[in-house]
Structure 1
Amino acid sequence: MSMTLFLLSVKFLLNELVYFIEWEIVSLMSTSIVMTFLFDWMSLMFMSFVLLISSLVIYYSKEYMIDDFNINRFILLVLLFVFSMMMLIISPNLISILLGWDGLGLVSYCLVIYFQNVKSFNAGMLTALSNRIGDVALLLAIAWMLNYGGWNYIFYIELMKSHSEMMLIGVLVMLAAMTKSAQIPFSSWLPAAMAAPTPVSALVHSSTLVTAGVYLLIRFNVLLVDTWLGGFLLLIAGLTMFMAGLGANFEFDLKKIIALSTLSQLGLMMSILAMGFPKLAFFHLLTHALFKALLFMCAGAIIHNMKNSQDIRLMGGLTYQMPLTSSCLNVANLALCGMPFLAGFYSKDLILEMVSLSYMNMFSFFLYFFSTGLTVCYSFRLVYYSLTGDFNSNALHPLNDEGWVMLKSMLGLLVMAVIGGSMLSWLIFPTPDMICLPYYLKFLTLFVCLTGGISGYLMSNVALYFSNKSLQLYGVSFFSGSMWFMPSLSTTGFIYCPLFIGMAVIKSFDQGWSEYFGGQHLYKTMKILSSFTQVLQNNNLKIYLLSFILWVIILVSLMVI
């Protein structure tokens, strides 16, 4: 299916075809419920890549999840996830987008809590609640689109831009995309979601869940160009990129380093999209999906062999024990850094050169290039800790490269991580762009990458521990390493501030004054009045007179006696 869709996308791209399919499910009187699908080169190519990666991930799970009794349930969840993503990709309609969007949120929650321990439950709750904000924003956008009399946003985008009050839809869609793609201040859920099994991380955090927000904004990109929305998104995405790159340099959990790397790349996609280059953002989205899935798969193979230990300080010298996995990890890492002629180079280098060519303020320019340096820095730090040096775990260890099913999946993606960028660059940009820059700006990307790599390797080196600045500057290190306190704010902050305020409000209003003077007070008053009338009803005058006469008769008879 992946190959078929890819060839179709090439045909659509070369012939500039777009198929808009409407399927009328039910028609009643003048109301019709219609399902709409949009097939263009972008949706077909994205679906092709999602199917390729998910097929390799499911094949990889066969060995990775071998001890799991419920492997069928796991595979079904992954397939449901892929189906939700497909739904989102081919929808030009906000209603069907919401179906896919909510499907992604729900299934990702089920996958994050798959191992069923307290840590997973907490991470799942954080993931689900963060994504609910975006779902609510989409629901509000659907309600606001009633002003147009239809939900096929694809027809109304130009109109939205010309009407200032209709830009509210743009704001809501951007909020939804920011939650799903974990931009500041919703970033804390992405590293937390690493509680899921590694094959899920390889699928979810490379090509599906987190890129859904970017893809949605690529479709809405007209609203970002030359508006304040674009400027705001550029700032937020730049800061996300910087924050994630900085955080990864202080992290020791293998999967969290790769998760923060994903966050950094999402910031890069969002920021170049905010500058008005949707094709570039899409190009980087596809190349990133290839090498990031490979990176996660290699991490999974290492964790599997390390008997579920994820701490990079306990690794080291893996090159000798697992040469093939280490080679794949190195290629994926170099592709991420933008090593010339690997997949990441074609998109990252083009993005940074377009940034240099564009009209750009100094702050955003600094964020772009410094974050690129940080990417290379944490990649080389990861290589230093895990692949080189001496082995730091138990002397008796089961490390080997024998997992052939996992290796075949990884080698499939390895080929794509090497040739994918070049192939896509010829397809998406058939006419090469002429980017004319001064000598020092042209080489700035290369210089930043080299500087970042060298500093990452040297700062990890044991010799520097004797003059260790991170312990002396503990506050700065803690701030940088804890994602600018966002996890604390997203969890403890929300518990202590809004929830406690909400409890106080409920106690003093809903269960307090309003209860006393409202429903409860009315109930008590009515109860007293009704009991009084009940007494009157039970004790009417006739009964009083009858009983009075009887008593008189009894008394008189007693006196006579």
Structure 2
Amino acid sequence: MLVLNLYYVWSLLLFLMSMFFLGLCLNFMLLDYSLMIEWILMSLNSLSVSYFIFVDWISMGFCFVVFFISSMVVLYSGVYMGTYDYSSIRFLMLVLMFVTSMLLMIMSPSLVSIMLGWDGLGLVSYCLVIYYSSLKSYLAGMITCLINRLGDIGLLVSISWLFGYGSWNFMFYLEYYGNYIFYLIMISSFTKSAQIPFSSWLPAAMAAPTPVSALVHSSTLVTAGVYLLIRFYSYLIFMNYFFMFVGIMTMTMSSFCANYEFDLKKIIALSTLSQLGLMMSCLFMGLVDLSLFHLLSHAMFKSLLFLCSGVIIHLMGGSQDIRVMGSICVSLPLTCSCFNIANMSLCGVPFLSGFYSKDFIIEVGVFNGLNMFYLIFFYLGLGMTSLYSIRLIYYTLLVGYNYNSFIYSGLGGMIYHMKYSLIMLSVFSLSFGCMFMWLTNLDLGFLVLPFSIKVLSLLMVSLGIYLGYELNFISYLMPNKYYFLNGSMWFMYSYSYGLLKVSYMYGLNLLNTMYWGEYYGGAGLSFYLGSVSNLMQLMFFGSLKGFCLMLIIWLFFLI
């Protein structure tokens, strides 16, 4: 009897579907054509419940990227997730539910059906983050789920708000909506795309298995917010310097934090956060096509980066600390080659996939007349990207052996079918940028810039590479407070349990130990509510005169 491995069957199916979507994308792009499909689920007198699907080259191109990366991740998971048993089948089904939720979101022009996909992404991502069932996974899953629920609230309010416009199919009414609906959608998207101040869930979600990280943090969950804003795009509202500032601050903060992090997966997660900041700031500059371009090219090399890191962690016996790695290229030459391709593409090294989108975004931004503040931060973000990438390469590939020889000798060649996914994604990381640019005619824009500006982005990348190498030999350059600030995501975390325990030991009160993310968030609010409640209780337990006075005051409030 022939027994099919479900991982390989679904990998093939997803790959064939991705090729189908690619064909549709090219066809729609060539004909400048879009299609609206209405499926009436129920019709009763004047009531009609229908489901809409909107198909154009943007949605088809995004579907191609999501399905292609999913097929590679599923093929990779067949080996990575261990023996073929009940637990690994559950993992496969969760991944497929995740991809289905993303498909629902991509192809819907209606906010209600987008809500189905949006909610599905949040709930399935929770199940995937807590897959390993440890305390760390549960905490990370809770943070991921709760911060994403904030965005769901914004979307639910938007749905009820759109009742006043007569339809949930928002694409027909983009010129008529008030500013506040757009602002609500933007803030909802910020929670999904982990912009400041909702950034803390993205590195925490690294508790999930590596294939999940590759899928979630390259092309699905974190990009859902950016994609929704691209769909809601209106030039009247989106040319917004405040939101652009938030995007640039996210990019800068995550780049700084990645330079002081020693967890391999967290460094890659922070680099994802940095690129999301770039996409958001690009969107609020009015460059919607370039934002989509960077979204798609980034998905290719970031998923490759995660899959390579998964093989390295597998080789290290589950350790993610880059300080105990070294000279992995001896035992894993193919993986390290792919890892380097993805890293160079992330830096924006000329003629790789990431170069075409990042360089073009910065040049168009300069050409449109960005002021000096934004210009400095854009180039700083570019330089910092190459800085932490070189630091990663130095710790994992260039230094000598730092780990147990038993682990090194035992797991060196055991990557089986994983290598096929790495090779396919490497090909796309090399070629996707230039192919997309030629197909969409983005390179027809005529930019005239001075030579110094043209060469500045290359200089910043080269400077970042040089400094990234040199800084590995310097122990401490700054005061301790600087490292503490950047090591804790600018004090944005909302789960500093260890710090609270220490503070209680030394007799400090709760208010002195809260980070600003907690002080202005739920913890600070609950602290003040508790304090007011205790005060009221104290007054009610006092004399009868005080009790009557408080009663009269509250009656006045009610009236």
Q: Does 1:497 align with 2:505?
A: no
SS across alignment from 1:25: strand
Alignment check: 8 A CA contact 1:61 1:199 kept: yes
Instruction: Please tell me the residue identity of whatever aligns with 1:21.
Output: I
Unaligned runs of 5+ in 1: 161-165, 522-561
The residue number in structure 1 matching 2:45 is 29
The residue number in structure 2 matching 1:532 is none
Alignment check: 8 A CA contact 2:239 2:286 kept: no
2:417 to 389, 405, 421: 405
Q: Does 1:44 align with 2:60?
A: yes
| Structure 2 counterparts to residues 230-245 of structure 1, below 5 A | 230-245=240-255
SS across alignment from 1:95: helix
Deviations 1:327-347 (A, max 9, x none): 010000001011111110111
Deviations 1:151-183 (A, max 9, x none): 1110110112xxxxx211101100111000000
Rounded Cα–Cα distance in structure 1 between residues aligned with 2:370 and 2:355: 22
| Structure 2 counterparts to residues 223-372 of structure 1, below 5 A | 225-227=235-237, 230-372=240-382
Q: Aligned in 2, Cα 1:405/1:502: closer, same or farther, shift over 3 Å?
A: farther
SS across alignment from 2:406: coil
Instruction: Please tell me the residue identity of whatever aligns with 1:58.
Output: V
Q: Does 1:477 align with 2:506?
A: no
Q: Aligned in 2, Cα 1:30/1:483: closer, same or farther, shift over 3 Å?
A: same
Q: Aligned in 2, Cα 1:169/1:117: closer, same or farther, shift over 3 Å?
A: same
Rounded Cα–Cα distance in structure 2 between residues aligned with 1:356 and 1:195: 39
Deviations 1:185-236 (A, max 9, x none): 00000000000000000000000000000000111121xx354762221000
How far did residue 55 of structure 1 move? 0.7
Rounded Cα–Cα distance in structure 2 between residues aligned with 1:490 and 1:408: 46
The residue number in structure 2 matching 1:54 is 70
How far did residue 428 of structure 1 move? 1.8
1:443 to 436, 448, 455: 455
Q: Aligned in 2, Cα 1:504/1:422: closer, same or farther, shift over 3 Å?
A: same
How far did residue 360 of structure 1 move? 1.2
Q: Does 1:213 align with 2:209?
A: no
Larger displacement relative to structure 2 (421-430 or 143-152): 421-430
TM (normalized to structure 1)? 0.87
Alignment check: 8 A CA contact 1:322 1:399 kept: no
The residue number in structure 1 matching 2:154 is 137
Rounded Cα–Cα distance in structure 2 between residues aligned with 1:457 and 1:194: 26
Larger displacement relative to structure 2 (426-435 or 340-349): 426-435
How far did residue 106 of structure 1 move? 0.4
| Structure 2 counterparts to residues 370-389 of structure 1, below 5 A | 370-389=380-399
Larger displacement relative to structure 2 (87-96 or 353-362): 353-362
Rounded Cα–Cα distance in structure 2 between residues aligned with 1:263 and 1:362: 23
Rounded Cα–Cα distance in structure 2 between residues aligned with 1:137 and 1:378: 35
How far did residue 500 of structure 1 move? 2.8
How far did residue 355 of structure 1 move? 1.2
Rounded Cα–Cα distance in structure 2 between residues aligned with 1:268 and 1:509: 48
The residue number in structure 2 matching 1:414 is 426
2:34 to 14, 18, 24: 18
Larger displacement relative to structure 2 (365-374 or 61-70): 61-70
Alignment check: 8 A CA contact 2:197 2:517 kept: no
Deviations 1:364-386 (A, max 9, x none): 11111100000000000000000
The residue number in structure 2 matching 1:547 is none
The residue number in structure 2 matching 1:163 is none
Instruction: Please tell me the residue identity of whatever aligns with 1:195.
Output: A
The residue number in structure 2 matching 1:119 is 136
Rounded Cα–Cα distance in structure 2 between residues aligned with 1:182 and 1:317: 34
Alignment check: 8 A CA contact 1:290 1:413 kept: yes
Rounded Cα–Cα distance in structure 2 between residues aligned with 1:325 and 1:252: 20
2:164 to 143, 147, 155: 147
1:96 to 113, 120, 134: 113
Unaligned runs of 5+ in 2: 1-16, 495-514, 552-559
Q: Does 1:159 align with 2:176?
A: yes
The residue number in structure 2 matching 1:544 is none
Rounded Cα–Cα distance in structure 1 between residues aligned with 2:272 and 2:230: 18
Larger displacement relative to structure 2 (408-417 or 390-399): 390-399
